[in-house]
Amino acid sequence: MIFAHLVLCAAAIRFLPAAEIVRFGLAFLCFAYRAFCARLILLRPAAEIVRDEPFKLALPSAASA
Query: Which value, in Å, is the radius of gyration of the alpha carbons in the chain?
Result: 30
How far is the C-alpha of 10 from the C-alpha of 26, rounded, in Å?
Answer: 25
Q: What is the domain partition of the chain in residue ranges?
A: 1-41
End-to-end CA distance of the chain: 97
**pLDDT of amino acid 18:** 73
Specify the DSSP class assigned to residue 62: S
The rounded distance, in Å, linking the Cα atoms of 62 and 27 is 62
CA 5 to chain centre: 42
* Residue, of 11 and 56, whose pLDDT is higher: 11
Distance in angstroms (rounded) separating the CA atoms of residues 9 and 18? 15
15-63 pLDDT, tens digit per residue, is: 777 777 667 777 777 888 888 888 888 888 776 776 666 666 666 666 6
